[in-house]
Amino acid sequence: MTKAYKHWKVQPHDTLSHVDDDILTVVGRLRMPLGDFPRRMTVVRLTDSRLVIWSAMALNETEMAKLEAFGHPAFLVVPNDHHRLDAKAWKERYPQLQVVAPYGSRAKVEEVVPVDVMAPDFGDARVRFLTVPGTREREAALLVSTSSGTTLVLNDLVGNIRRKSGIAGWLLELAGFAGNSARIPRIVKLNMVEDENALRAQLSAWAELPTLKTILVSHGDVITYHPRQTLRALARTLP
What is the Rg, in whole angstroms, of the alpha carbon atoms belonging to the chain? Answer: 17
Q: Is 72 helix (H, G, I), strand (E, B) or coil?
A: strand
CA distance 10 to 7: 10
The kind and range of the H/E element at 220 are strand 219-220
| Domain assignments of the chain as residue spans, ordered by start | 17-236
Domain 17-236 class in CATH: alpha beta
Angle at alpha carbon of residue 24, lines to 93 and 2, rounded to 5°? 55
pLDDT tens for the 239 residues of the chain, in order: 568 999 999 999 999 999 999 999 999 998 876 567 899 999 999 999 999 999 999 999 999 999 999 999 999 999 999 999 999 999 999 999 999 999 999 999 999 999 999 999 999 999 999 999 999 999 999 999 999 999 999 999 999 987 666 666 666 776 667 678 899 999 899 999 999 999 999 999 999 999 999 999 999 999 999 999 999 999 999 98
What is the pTM assigned to this prediction?
0.94
